[in-house]
Amino acid sequence: MKKLVLSLMLLCLGSMIDSNARIVEITSKNAFDQEIAQEQVTVVAFWADWCGPCKLMLHMLPELNDKFDYDAVCFAKCDVDASYGAELAQLYNVIDLPTFLFYKDGVLEKRVNGLIPQEELEEIIMSLL
């Protein structure tokens, strides 16, 4: 009986984990470099609070995050209105929002400017795995 109760508690606790907690907030050039240097696929989303399509994208990230193994795919976001974000946006020639940069093992493999359907984002990620 104790094992059953413990199992149910763990199941409930697992469903309460916020998948946003695994989405990295880029706060500096150094943090950006560390994220993309990992031996995995890293998806960096550039966004702004005032951008309507960005808000839709921000809702997709947790769903995408839940679909992929964290050891294989890392999701990160960078606010272009923050000072570090503006610097990174300029450095990586981000003009349209949202912009997605897809890295594999530290190498930029693909860039998508603008909002695309979640299914297309999944396909891109799958092609890099």
Is residue 54 annotated as part of the catalytic site, yes or no?
A: yes
For residue 116, what are its two tokens? Answer: 């695309």
C-beta separation of 12 from 64 below 8 A: no
Given the structure tokens 């929002």, which residue do they identify? Answer: 97
Measure the CA angle with vertex 80, ends 76 and 82; round to 5°.
100
Q: Which of 12, 54, 74, 78 is catalytic?
A: 54
Report the catalytic residues. Answer: 51, 54
